[in-house]
Amino acid sequence: MSFRFTRRSFLKSTALCFDAAAFAISDDNTQNEEKDVWAIVSDMHISEWTETPPEHNVRFQSVINAMLAEPVKPRRIFLLGDNVYSGKQEQYNRLLEILQPAVDAGIGIHAALGDHDNLENFRAIREKLLPPEAKADKSITHFVRTEPWATGDDKHIEILETQRANFFVLDSLVKTNQEEGKFGKEQLDWLAAELDKRKDKPAVLMAHHVAVDVSKFADGGLADAIPFWKIIGKRRQVKAFFFGHSHYWFNHRSGNVHQVNFPSIYRCPPLSVLGWVLMTLHDDGVCLTLKTCDPADKRNGQQVNLRFV
């Protein structure tokens, strides 16, 4: 991208992408096959509280209830970062409390970390996000990398191998409350090697930050966006990159990679929406169904089909 990516240009690109999305809307056509359904949510910014929980915490509780009320329960929930407000342990404890009904329903939860997160405090709750049913599910091979790199850089990374696609949950957090993100050379080298081991299925990459160079994105881009795109652009199995951070809901395509920016639960900028997404996997792509926090919003139920060709 050659333009400076600002809130203003985001508004313009969002408007364009809603137009583009209108062409991609179609019926979800998996009626005759077993549904392969997942939930994706971003930027909850869960806060601590003493007496009354803040509005966004309550909103996220409602979202979890809505996920559990779906006719086909999501197999897993992906969190795309800025999971808590400022990385505090108490906030992660509250996050776990809100997620507990999903965990109790046997749904495993996987999280990317964003600029409001804290690795050490997240790790204190991570094991509790995987119930025994999720661990016993042989249809998903789950890998978690927890060892620090040789440089001492420490990241939380997960891979989920499934029948139709491989999911890579990446870590772009540098330091809690530092807006700019970075994968780091070791994570990028690791990503290239792990992608090369998995050429047979579509790869869907997930991380918190917008994959735009920091010099072009005023609100905290990715310091190593350029090497990231060099790695994924030439690996044809990479079909999609899902991210949060901007709190906008839009999609566009960069070469062979569908980029999807997921909406926030915490706050909604102009023209965007508060909500989450139900993802149905098909043999040749995914259908993303927007679930708005306000059920009366006319965008509720909007579907975007991404073909993995």
Q: Using CB under 5 A as the criterion, which residues of the chain lie in contact with Fe ion when the complex forms?
A: 82, 114-115, 245
CB 261, min distance to Fe ion, A: 12
CB 81, min distance to Fe ion, A: 6
CA dist 263 and 272 (Å) reads: 7
CB crowding 43-80: b at 16 or more within 10 Å, else e: bbbbbbeeeebbebbebbeebbebbeeeeeebbbbbbb
CB 246, min distance to Fe ion, A: 8
| 3-state secondary structure (DSSP) of residue 41 | strand
CB 145, min distance to Fe ion, A: 22
Q: Which two tokens stand for residue 201?
A: 């299925």
- Measured at CB, which residue is nearest to Fe ion? 245
Task: Identify the CA nearest to 161 among candidates 249, 81, 281, 43.
Answer: 281
CB 28, min distance to Fe ion, A: 30
Closer residue to Fe ion (CB): 82 or 158: 82
Contact (CB, 8 A) for 142 and 160? yes
Give me the half-sphere count of Cα atoms (radius 13 Å) on the Cβ side of residue 236: 2
Closer residue to Fe ion (CB): 114 or 202: 114
Closer residue to Fe ion (CB): 110 or 245: 245
Q: Which two tokens stand for residue 182?
A: 């970075």
CB 217, min distance to Fe ion, A: 11
Closer residue to Fe ion (CB): 264 or 305: 264
Closer residue to Fe ion (CB): 114 or 184: 114
Contacts 24+ apart (CB under 8 A), 230-234: 231/188, 231/191, 231/192, 231/195, 232/191, 232/195, 232/205, 232/257, 233/257
Task: Identify the CA nearest to 303 among candidates 223, 294, 285.
Answer: 285
Closer residue to Fe ion (CB): 57 or 172: 172
